[in-house]
Amino acid sequence: MGVIIVGVLLRHPGAMLLVMTLWWVLPLLAVNLMGHPFLPYMKSHLLYAVIILISVLSTIVLNAVNTATTIWGTVTDWGRYYILCAAYTIQMIVTLLIVLTLDSYRLIGYYKGDPTGSVGMLLVPSVVMYFVLGVVSSWGCKVGSWIRKQRTRNVI
């Protein structure tokens, strides 16, 4: 089962983009649904609906672009990572703009009226987290490559 899921993720960039968002949004939604009943806090839960909807639409768009260009199959793993980070950044900017627009019209609410505890406060840090993760991974790969070179030098 796990092999099938990984195979789908590697072939479809949109699926990977969706996972990049939902792995942290869905647990937070579950926690907030347990602590805040749906109907009285419907305007607060709308924020999650917007994030998930934009994620699904981004998935569809990225898969459509991939089908039209087939660039996903021609780039290296790091090229795929950069494509995903760029798509994720665009997705979060669009999400943030839509959330701010809805907030300016008072169409969304915040649990207990406090926007600082909102999931919306994680949109920008999540983008930064993925870029930092990429840099650290890149350094790790370079160190690993250097260590392998040193080992082959010492063996011969």
What DSSP string describes 112-141? GG-GGGSGGGGHHHHHHHHHHHHHHHHHHH
Percent of the chain, pLDDT > 90?
47
Mean pLDDT throughout 53-64? 95
Query: What integer pLDDT is reported at residue 120 of this predicted model?
Result: 82
3-state helix, strand, coil in the chain (%, to 5): 85, 0, 15
Condensed to tens digits (0 to 9), the pLDDT of residues 93-152 reads 999 999 999 999 989 888 877 776 788 888 899 999 998 988 888 888 888 888 888 888
3-state secondary structure of 99: helix
Query: What integer pLDDT is reported at residue 147 of this predicted model?
Result: 87
pTM: 0.84
